[in-house]
Amino acid sequence: MTDLARLSAIQLLDGYRRKKFSPTDVIEVVIAALRRIQPTLNVLVTDMFASARDGALAASEAWARGEPDGPLCGVPVTVKDLVYLAGVRAAAGSPVLKDFVPPVDAAAVERLKRAGAVITGKTTTCEFGYKLTADSPISGTTRNPWDRSRTSGGSSGGAAAALAAGAGPLAIGTDAVGSIRVPASFCGVFGLKPTFGLVPRSPGFSPPSWGSLAHTGPMARSVADAALLLGVIAGHDARDGASLPVTAQRYAAPVGRLEGLRIAFSPDWGWAAVDPAVREAVKQAVDRLADLGAEVMARDPGLPADILETVLKPIGYTEQATAAGMTREEAQFELSERDFGAVVARGRRYSGVDYMTATHRRAALRESFRKLFTEVDLLVTPSVAVAAFGAGTLGVDTVDGKPVDRHLGWSPFSWPINLAGLPAASVPCGFGPGGLPIGFQIVAPWLGEATILRAAAAYEAVHPWATRWPA
């Protein structure tokens, strides 16, 4: 019998339409899958199984009437715990918020509900999304389904691990320094960080940490599913001051050749340390894109090697420290991880001059990307410089024998894209030593999501990944 929890959203909707099975059938299998993986992978911080059953019943009745209520009617989806659901605890991985229950839905959640989606639970995150794993004092350690001794990545790690393990087709993640793309790469799924402001965050994004960097976006096992979900959650919302004045639209994942598409390929920005297995897997993926007709050229935006210290940290750490100070007293930091406290402490030491200097440098970085995209349509890089490392650790100290910043230095391809506000996706492209997934990143100009989806779908068609599952 087909495992309904492993079907794509597109397949589920087709099955509902053909009356092969119903949302009530599907939700029971998905709940069973989540219960099966929870003890070993730890993907949920709060389950919503009771309300999911109610939602699936209502969706089944709508399909039986031939009147499905929205484009995701009856499709299971998880929501990261940084994103509010009214009446459901939103701890954001923080002991300070362990009992916080928001009174409002996030804009993306409102749209999920209007689309008929069935929300199965809140997925794990690190505290306030401060690092690129999903471990926290609230939920413990989230593990990788391909190797449970390894991290899932983060901070949308629970979302990625649940998708990879076959516990439903769709997830909502957030990404401020790579928190959609890193776990997507580590877990072998597809994750898309939209253009900054395309998917509204307010109301209902907790907390306003990484305020000028954080995006909400779709995660899925297939490109078509991610396109479907993006079409539901994207679009203007006046309650969010950063929301772009764009109308909602449907996104497609057309399968075809890539003639006429100009792709810049940078394996390392010219300075970043990259694991040789990652470098080789991404090079092979780029060769596939060329085989599909794309014109590939060696090109990069010319980013300076010091931008982590001179741009990202003064902006990101200051915003993180400000958000933390809004929600807690000084003594409450004793309940937090030591590494989180260190980030906040450093953020508090930056001055206003430091922050604004970094902001000016950020503008120059954005201009570098703008110039690059006058010459090419897409930029391809590795998603992460390494495959998944040990669970329960902050990161790695060296990559290919070279020292890197343990917090963010092993992911040098993700956070520059947040600084620029550009759309980017992580696409699975193979497996490295130990059978750990590797991903490559596709970056587009602002509001270039359709071009990312086109290239990713073309690659997926000749290099399918969704049929391979963790043991």
Nearest one of 213, 217, 177, 196 to 413, comparing CA atoms: 177
Nearest one of 455, 356, 388 to 184, comparing CA atoms: 388
pTM of the predicted structure, to 2 decimals? 0.97
In 3-state terms, what secondary structure has residue 267? coil
Active site residue 149: no
Active site residue 80: yes
**pLDDT tens across the length of the chain (471 residues):** 479 999 999 999 999 999 999 999 999 999 999 999 999 999 999 999 999 999 999 999 999 999 999 999 999 999 999 999 999 999 999 998 889 999 999 999 999 999 999 999 999 999 999 999 999 999 999 999 999 999 999 999 999 999 999 999 999 999 999 999 999 999 999 999 999 999 999 888 766 667 899 999 999 999 999 999 999 999 999 999 999 999 989 999 999 999 999 999 999 999 999 999 999 999 999 999 999 999 999 999 999 999 999 999 999 999 998 887 765 666 677 888 999 999 999 999 999 999 999 999 999 999 999 999 999 999 999 999 999 999 999 999 999 999 999 999 999 999 999 999 999 999 999 999 999 999 999 999 999 999 999 999 999 999 999 999 998
SS (H, E, C) 354-394: HHHHHHHHHHHHHHHHHHHCCCCCEEEEECCCCCCCECCCC
What CATH number matches the domain at 4-462, 3.40.50.300, 3.40.50.1000, 3.90.1300.10, 3.90.650.10?
A: 3.90.1300.10
Which residue in 22, 60, 179, 209 is the catalytic one?
A: 179
Buried (b) or exposed (e) across 34-61, using 16+ Cβ within 10 A?
beebbeebbbbbbbbbebbbebbbbbbe
257/461 Cα distance (integer angstroms)? 10
CB 232 within 8 A of CB 9: no
116/60 Cα distance (integer angstroms)? 11
Sign of the Cα torsion 21, 27, 32, 33 reads positive
C-alpha angle 416-421-424 in degrees, rounded to nearest 5? 75
Amino acid at 253: A
The tokens for 24 are 């009530």
Amino acid at 103: P
Q: Which burial class, exposed, middle or buried, applies to 21 when counting CB atoms under 10 A from its CB (0-12, 13-18, 19+)?
A: middle
Which residue in 8, 60, 80, 131 is the catalytic one?
A: 80
What are the domain boundaries of the chain?
Answer: 4-462
Active site residue 179: yes
